[in-house]
Structure 1
Amino acid sequence: MLQPNVITFDFKRRTLISGPHLLGSLLILSGILALVGTSFLNLGDSLERNLAVGMAAILLGLPILSTYGGTRIDFSGNRYKNYRSIAGFRQGAWKTLPLIVRVELIETKRRRTNQPNGISPTLSGNVIEFTILMYASAPRPLFVFVYTNGDKALEQAQLLASALKCKLVLPISQSTKPGRQGTE
């Protein structure tokens, strides 16, 4: 569904179930368990120590979880910014948005394997990714946005093409099979 008065587009590059974001999630979860566990379990530790450990884990996990990169496009100002967000503060410089002539949505199947690193689960499997490519006059895309949800990718591609008043290119399988998700 297109929103008629959209003036910005914001793509966040983060995955909450892998890498540092998983560590942040685990720290927050362990902090909550340390805080709540004191009322259920009588471990003999002092209440102050359990509260300190729980709060420390939460305070360490929050900045890790809230740090990510992204791209923001301001349609009304005809500009864009590649940013790094740390605890909600976005750092990056605005640049002039060149004329976008084409927005393309492609679907790729690949085998994803996480390398064992002690933080991420070591999983592998076939995944389907939906990639939005935005082209200016150059043959290489200016922006690349990857989604695992096909419906969300289609919605965002339509929004971008509409806001930028440019051509939208969709794959045949995407236009005939709505509702596909990114895993097989």
Structure 2
Amino acid sequence: MFKKDLFKIKKIYDLCNCWLELNTKFTAISEINVCPMKNFDYKRRKLFSIGPHLIGLLFITAGLFAIASPVIFKSEIEPEKAILVGAAAITIGLMVVTSYSGTTFNFEEKKVKEYTSFCSYKIGEWSSLPDILLVKVVSHSYHATNTPNGISPTFSGYVNVYKVLLYANHPTPEFSFLYASNAQAMKEAKLLATHLHAELEISDLMV
């Protein structure tokens, strides 16, 4: 009985080793066959920031409340009307929450598009991407204070942000991308410099 158990354990061990070996080979092949990046997409949005997105969340909450109100309060409102009103509010809320602006690059065709997105549908026109000569990363600190609104926490203090600036033949940047993370800003800057064949300059404060 003991020998049979050892034999079963050995078989399981061999199968695990075989699976690990195949998985390693598959991962290596996948990495070799990775296609080069064709697009860069920068989204300007904060889901829980004060403004339109917060209003969208309030619409969704109100819609859910409207749908549930006939059951909770046992009111005289017809369930069909409550569902209709609630669904309309939720639809408006989702459209507001999913809306944002952004910038996308097509590296292969050397085009850029400034867009506004609604429910993943991007509205905007493509234009020629200028020759970017320099990608610069800088840090910036500013004093931020949010007004108490009963939803988001009250905050007052200095905030560090990181900018990725793209320069062509002008002293002012053609594009500016803002990041809350130092690591993310560095990663995106290196990616852009590589695909745009531009020089990468990193501020001393970033090192």
Q: Is contact 1:69-1:82 (8 Å) kept?
A: yes
User: Aligned residues: percent identity?
Assistant: 37
Which segments of 5 or more consecutive residues in structure 2 lack a partner in the other structure? 1-33
- Aligned pairs, number: 172
Cα offsets for 1:71-127 (capped at 9, x unmatched)? 111100011111122333222221111111111111111012346899987753321
Out of 165, 169, 174, which is 2:197 matched to?
A: 165
Runs ≥4 in structure 1, deviation > 2 angstroms? 29-39, 41-50, 86-89, 113-125, 171-175
* Corresponding residue number in structure 1 for 2:102: 70
CA distance in 2, matches of 1:144, 1:59: 33
Residues 4/127 of structure 1: CA separation in 2 closer, same or farther (3 Å cut): farther
CA distance in 2, matches of 1:113, 1:106: 22
Relative to the length of structure 1, the TM-score reads 0.80
Residues 119/67 of structure 1: CA separation in 2 closer, same or farther (3 Å cut): farther
The one-letter amino acid of 1:140's match is T
Q: Is contact 1:132-1:157 (8 Å) kept?
A: yes
Instruction: Classify the secondary structure of the residue corresponding to 2:131.
Output: coil
Structural mapping, 1:116-135, within 5 Å: 123-135=155-167
Cα offsets for 1:130-151 (capped at 9, x unmatched)? 1110001111000001111222
Query: Is the helix fraction higher in 1 or 2?
Result: 2
* Corresponding residue number in structure 2 for 1:80: 112
Which segments of 5 or more consecutive residues in structure 1 lack a partner in the other structure? 176-184
Out of 122, 130, 134, which is 1:98 matched to?
A: 130
Instruction: Classify the secondary structure of the residue corresponding to 2:37.
Output: coil
Relative to the length of structure 2, the TM-score reads 0.72
Q: Is contact 2:138-2:205 (8 Å) kept?
A: no
Instruction: Classify the secondary structure of the residue corresponding to 2:117.
Output: strand
Compute the RMSD of aligned alpha carbons: 2.7
Q: Is contact 2:133-2:169 (8 Å) kept?
A: yes
Instruction: Classify the secondary structure of the residue corresponding to 2:104.
Output: strand
The one-letter amino acid of 2:39's match is T
